[in-house]
Amino acid sequence: MTQRDASSPAPDADQFAPEQLRELLDIAVTLATEAGDLVAARRKEGVAVADTKSSSVDIVTASDRESEAHIRRRLEELRPGDGFFGEESDATASETGLTWVVDPIDGTVNYLYGYPNYSVSVAVVLGNPGSEPSSFTALASAVVNPEGRESFTAMRGQGSWCNGERLHVDAAPPLELALVGTGFSYSAERRVQQAEQWTTLASRVRDLRRVGAASLDLCNIAINRLDAYYESGLNPWDHAGAALVAREAGAIVVGEAMGREGRRLIIAAKPGLEVELADLVTVLPGVGL
């Protein structure tokens, strides 16, 4: 899509032809792969904490910043006029209606400690990802796990894949046999609340998994490694790309009161489980306000 005049109507997600989505996806895959190779190489050289954000355990590494800078620089070359919304740098407004939502390393603590569960997520969305959840629609995305050598990709209305193999979620098991994923906050107080919430689920599901990277949790539903996932407090870069992967594989992705997913809550599940899980999961106090 080329730069549009400010007086012209904004594009509609349904107006994008498959070949246009493919062009966007190819860019997402290229950049996520390049950044994944970069951060994996830096991991072998050694990683140290460069800064902290919301708390002493909410860390940033030099690799986070280098990865995002690389993706941002490449997008300026490939897609001038598109917006940018990433975790580690200031947002740029879109002149085309499209914005690239980037998590340069999802699972930074895993990355620091050498756990292989981290990813680079690149999604292109229509609308404003910095506003309400319903204000943007993901069109194409790539979530690359360099250590696992897995590349999850998706296009709106066209499906999702892992390393080129089409993904389809299996039929949902009964809730008591469901393997459920979740994540925990960098805030110690909120982690306690999340642990208390887990106690309400402990006797109702098969077990809980904590991967440490929301993007991989969502992709794990698409590839049938999890049956359901929930979390409060995510930012758009945490889920924009991977939620599309899950949706296009047939999972149901919802938020508070079964609306759109967002900062307050995201639930992703094999069809049917989302309703039962929503009855057990509540939005934590103060999240997304």
Catalytic residue chosen out of the listed positions 82, 147, 238, 274: 238
Please confirm, yes or no, whether 238 is among the known catalytic residues: yes
Indicate whether 8 pLDDT > 50. no
Please confirm, yes or no, whether 105 is among the known catalytic residues: yes
Catalytic residue chosen out of the listed positions 87, 248, 256, 276: 87
Instruction: Supply the pLDDT for residue 223.
Output: 98
pTM of the model: 0.93
Alpha carbon distance 274, 270 (integer Å): 7
pLDDT greater at residue 186 or residue 120: 120
Q: Mean pLDDT score of the chain, rounded to an integer?
A: 91
User: Could you identify the residue written with the tokens 């994996």?
Assistant: 40
Catalytic residue chosen out of the listed positions 108, 221, 231, 267: 108
How far does CA 89 lie from the centroid of its chain? 17
Q: Which of the four pLDDT bands, split at 50, 70 and 90, describes residue 99?
A: very high
Instruction: Please check whether residue 180 is in contact with residue 228, taking contact to mean a CB–CB distance below 8 angstroms.
Output: yes
Catalytic residue chosen out of the listed positions 88, 103, 147, 276: 103
Mean pLDDT confidence for 201-226: 96
Alpha carbon distance 190, 231 (integer Å): 12
Q: Which of the four pLDDT bands, split at 50, 70 and 90, describes residue 276?
A: very high
Alpha carbon distance 285, 80 (integer Å): 40
Catalytic residue chosen out of the listed positions 66, 68, 88, 106: 106
Alpha carbon distance 99, 123 (integer Å): 8
Catalytic residue chosen out of the listed positions 27, 59, 105, 267: 105
How far is CA 56 from each of CA 145, 186, 284, rounded to the nearest angstrom?
26, 8, 21
Query: Which stretch, 13-17, 75-79, 230-234, 278-282, has highest mean pLDDT?
Result: 75-79
**How does pLDDT run across 251-263, given as a tens digit for each residue?**
999 999 999 998 8
**How does pLDDT run across 188-213, given as a tens digit for each residue?**
888 888 888 888 898 999 999 999 99
Indicate whether 153 pLDDT > 70. yes
Instruction: Supply the pLDDT for residue 1.
Output: 41
Please confirm, yes or no, whether 12 is among the known catalytic residues: no
Alpha carbon distance 103, 110 (integer Å): 14
Instruction: Supply the pLDDT for residue 11.
Output: 64
